[in-house]
Amino acid sequence: MKEEILWNDDYATGKVILIDKPLTWTSFDVVKKIRGAVRVTKVGHAGTLDPLATGLLIVCTGKFTKQINTYQAAEKEYEGSFILGSITDSYDLETEPKLHVDIAYLTHEVVHQATTKFVGEIMQVPPIYSAIKKEGTPAYVLARKGREVKMEARPITIKSFEITSIDLPTINFRVVCSTGTYIRSLAFDFGNELGCGAYLSSLRRTRIGEFGVDQAMDMEQFMKELDLIRPIRNDKIEKG
């Protein structure tokens, strides 16, 4: 028992852990893995990333779980890609593309110009494949059962929306936005603005407030760090 308490001390007291979330992992998968590894029950994350997204996930333990709401409210930055000319029910690759449209009429100028419609304070409708609860049930659960789900528009702020490269039907982008912004919905709305449809094909969160993904560890690195800490603390126990 003495060994476990000493080994857990920093995490039990409180830490902020920056993780580069792996593709296909849910945010809860990361929390569950860390909770089991550090043997501390008070662990949470600040801002969900979809399984098909990668990038920065802030995980808090101990007293720092009280800061989760503060981190969640911070400005976010994303990089990713849209596919133009099709849509999906989930607005990303979770569901199959459909309604293929000829996009030969699109020019680079038209694509760049369309971004201006989405900069500033706007109203956005979240995707039905989201964790927002409707009558106590996550919307995505109802959507996967084929139930009709009505989502209400809500205000968000997009500080900047930049197209970084174009190789039709793929466009790459960078977005800086407020909390509560769904990049999948931005893809859907952007496709509507262009008149051809679009869906999110890749997404990476690169920043939350002052924290950047370049400061984060992947899960393998995190587990290796724990393996380094454990023998050091065991040695302290033996010397004590």
Q: Which residues does 170 contact at the CB level (< 8 Å), separation at least 6?
A: 81, 82, 83, 84, 201
Active-site residue numbers? Answer: 50
Burial 133-162 (b: 16+ CB within 10 A, else e): ebeeeebbebbeeeeebebeeeebbbeebe
The four Cα atoms 8, 10, 14, 16 give a dihedral, to 10 degrees, of -110
The number of beta carbons lying within 10 Å of the beta carbon of residue 85 is 20
